[in-house]
Structure 1
Amino acid sequence: MGALHKLRVLDFTQMMTGPMATMMLGDFGADVIKVEAPEGDPFRSSGEVTLGGDGVFFLSMNRNKRGVVLDLKTEQGREMVKALAAEADVLVENFRPGLAEKLGLGCEELQALNPRLIYCSITGFGRNGADRDRPALDQVVQAESGLMQITGTAQSGPLKTGFPFSDLVTALLATAGILNAVIARYETGVGQRVDLSMLDASIFSIAPRDVYFAATGKTPPRTGNEHWDIVPNNTYATSDGREVMVISINDKFWVILARALGLADMATDPLFATKSARLKNRQLLDERVAAAFRGRTLAEWETVLRAAGAIYGAVRTWDEVFSDPRVIGDMVHSIEHAAAGQLSVLKNPLRFSATPNEISLPPPRLGEHTDSVLADPSAAWRVRGR
Structure 2
Amino acid sequence: MESSTNTPATPTKGPLNGIKILDFTQFLAGPHGTQILGDMGAQIIKIETPAGDLSRTVPPHFIRDDSAYFHTINRNKKSVVINMKKPGGTELVRELIKTADVVVENFRPGVLSRLGIDREDEMENNPALIWASISGFGQSGPDRDLPAYDMIVQALSGTMSLTGERGGRPVRTGIPVGDIAAGLHAAIGILSALHNVKETGQGEYIDISMLDCLVAMLSYQGTYHLESGHVPGPQGSGHDAIPTYRQFTAGDGRDIVTTANTERMWQAMAQALGHPELLDDPRFTLNGDRLRNKEELWDILEPAFLERDAAEWVALFNEAGIPVGMVNTLDLALTSPQILHREMVVELDDGNGASVKTLGNPIKLSRNPRSRDSFPPALGEHTSDILRDVLGKSSSEIDQLLEAGAIQTPLAEELVN
Q: Same fold (TM over 0.5)?
A: yes
- Kindly report which structure 2 residues correspond to 1:124-139, keeping only aligned pairs within 5 A, or say none: 124-139=136-151
Q: Match of 2:361?
A: 348
Alpha-carbon shift at residue 65 of structure 1 (Å): 0.2
- Kindly report which structure 2 residues correspond to 1:232-271, keeping only aligned pairs within 5 A, or say none: 232-271=244-283
CA contact (8 A) 2:63 2:355 kept: no
CA contact (8 A) 1:28 1:358 kept: no
Q: Match of 1:362?
A: 375
- Alignment: residue pair count: 380
CA distance in 2, matches of 1:343, 1:164: 21
CA contact (8 A) 1:44 1:57 kept: yes
- Kindly report which structure 2 residues correspond to 1:92-111, keeping only aligned pairs within 5 A, or say none: 92-111=104-123
Amino acid at match of 2:69: F
Alpha-carbon shift at residue 297 of structure 1 (Å): 0.8
- Kindly report which structure 2 residues correspond to 1:1-386, keeping only aligned pairs within 5 A, or say none: 1-330=13-342, 331-337=344-350, 341-375=354-388, 377-379=390-392
Amino acid at match of 1:20: H
CA distance in 1, matches of 2:358, 2:285: 47
CA distance in 2, matches of 1:149, 1:340: 46
Query: Please, which runs of 5 or more residues in structure 2 have no aligned partner?
Result: 1-12, 394-417
Give the stretch that moved more between structures: 253-262 or 59-68.
Answer: 253-262
RMSD over equivalenced CA pairs, Å: 1.5
CA distance in 1, matches of 2:301, 2:317: 13
CA distance in 2, matches of 1:278, 1:129: 44
CA distance in 1, matches of 2:144, 2:383: 32
Q: CA offsets, 1:288-334, max 9 Å, x none?
A: 11111100111211111111111211111222222222322321221
CA distance in 1, matches of 2:66, 2:297: 51
Query: Please, which runs of 5 or more residues in structure 1 have no aligned partner?
Result: 381-386
- The 1:368/1:205 distance shift into structure 2, 3 A limit, reads same
Alpha-carbon shift at residue 377 of structure 1 (Å): 4.3
- The 1:85/1:192 distance shift into structure 2, 3 A limit, reads same
Q: What secondary structure sits across from 2:226 in the alignment?
A: helix
Identity of aligned residues (%): 37
CA contact (8 A) 1:11 1:34 kept: yes
CA distance in 2, matches of 1:327, 1:44: 27
Amino acid at match of 2:335: S
TM-score normalised by length of structure 1:
0.95
Amino acid at match of 1:298: A
